[in-house]
Structure 1
């Protein structure tokens, strides 16, 4: 099969401009039933903050209807689907379906309870990622908000869908913090693609849902790879079955990670305020 290459001035392979971006660590995380915790704030979250948690889920769709209501504060969550679908019913966004290319963006801010806003769709199974991002002091105790964005509203740049932030002139409708980009990418077998970090985005990772790819070394389905800090482009080549993956890049989060059970804040005082708010709005 012939190799497919995206060619433009912005996609010159980094090996043609200098050395390639180095992977500093890979992990398959800690599986627990349908969910694998690929990253937490006490391990890769320190290296990759503002990205502090990444869960990969793959299960029968009925698991969505069994989700329990739970709280968060101090973070934002980004949920994307790589296979299957889920339904949402939201007072602001109405009702609809989240499939490949769609997402839920939720800013917990000063405190929120959630977990019953989505239900199983028509697919028998569901696969995807949920990413937690640490918020700045200005946003960590701000009012909460959520958005359900269907696939037709997320812009595409070559093989990438811009789920959060901006990339190559395309901007997601998600009301996420500035300085952060999150892409959902599918490459055909043997296809080449180069990620060019936006200015100031020294933090980068990717995680493969299906297939495999080469980005300096092989990254298989179910693995997360963290890249060295810096703004060197990331050259990617899909394996023989192609690849579907998420890729995050961001300006480094220059604050401490102060952890609660469902919360991440920048200080003990901010955490106490978030946890107090969670208790004040606890569902009865």
Structure 2
């Protein structure tokens, strides 16, 4: 077994999206090769309803898949396929935009006005860019959870892990998407397929991802009253951790434990032409997509 080194640490950046939703973006719109097959990752965590209730009104997508994971509050959604519903705490929605879909997502806070969730964009290979759109809602109760003897807890959202398989399937990037909680003081190793691109996103507690070349690890301290701690080797919450090659990662949980997403997928390694919500392989395909939007032919007839 070989330990994946930590190659990069970065903080998710405050961003405005939709009709004025305040969120934090861990990556996206900069370098599409950075975490191929993943294009974008947003953390929409907020406790001020005025900062998220405007939501994400009707907008198009083509050429990608999105995975939305709600931790707190709800998200009401609808799309051009006629689907509509509400995602609650712990629920997941996977949407394949394929040839084109129009949809809206309207976050609502919980009883205390808090909202928290994540959205990940996964690329589609050229052979599936124009596939028929489809989507799947998965309730929290249907997501398997594994608890190890040391108290480590893993929710298996996509892929297989520790003998459990997540309910979301059919995603072209064939990702593994895990929500991991490691108890205080526990050191834990997690396997990752050698040929997958991988990243972790820390959103609660503190810990140290052990680096083969730096045994002390990289400490990630929890957010305290919204302020990031400026201490040597530490960074605040909402931290993206990228890894090099290898087949496992090891984390040492801090005094309050650590909770993070561990996401990996098989690189597509194709050209990316990207503008806003549409991701194709060439500029010509992008031009066709936006012409379809102007001409009212964006939504393709079912085959």
User: Within 5 A, what are the aligned runs for 1:1-284?
Assistant: 17-18=1-2, 20-32=3-15, 34-43=22-31, 45-60=32-47, 62=49, 63-67=51-55, 68-82=57-71, 84-88=72-76, 95=85, 97-100=87-90, 102-116=91-105, 119-158=108-147, 159-175=153-169, 176-177=171-172, 179-198=174-193, 200-201=195-196, 203-216=197-210, 217-220=218-221, 221-228=237-244, 230-279=245-294, 280=296
User: May I ask how many residue pairs the two structures share in their alignment?
Assistant: 261
TM-score (norm 2): 0.76
Q: Name whichever of 206-215 and 191-200 sits farther off.
A: 191-200
Listed as ranges, the gaps of 5+ residues in structure 1 are: 1-16
The farther-off stretch of 209-218 and 272-281 is 272-281
Task: Encode CA deviations 1:117-147: one digit per residue, 9 max, x unaligned.
Answer: 6544445201222111111112222122222
Contact 2:76 2:105 in 1 (8 A): no
Structure 1-normalised TM-score? Answer: 0.81
Taking the aligned partners of 1:79 and 1:89, their CA distance within structure 2 comes to 11
Superposed CA RMSD: 2.6
Provide the rounded CA distance (Å) in 1 between the counterparts of 2:238 and 2:187.
Answer: 20
Give CA-to-partner distance per residue, 1:196-253, whole Å, 9 cap, x none: 113632x10011111122112223421101111x232001122212222111111112
8 Å CA contact 1:98, 1:149 repeated in 2 = no
What secondary structure does 1:194 align onto? strand
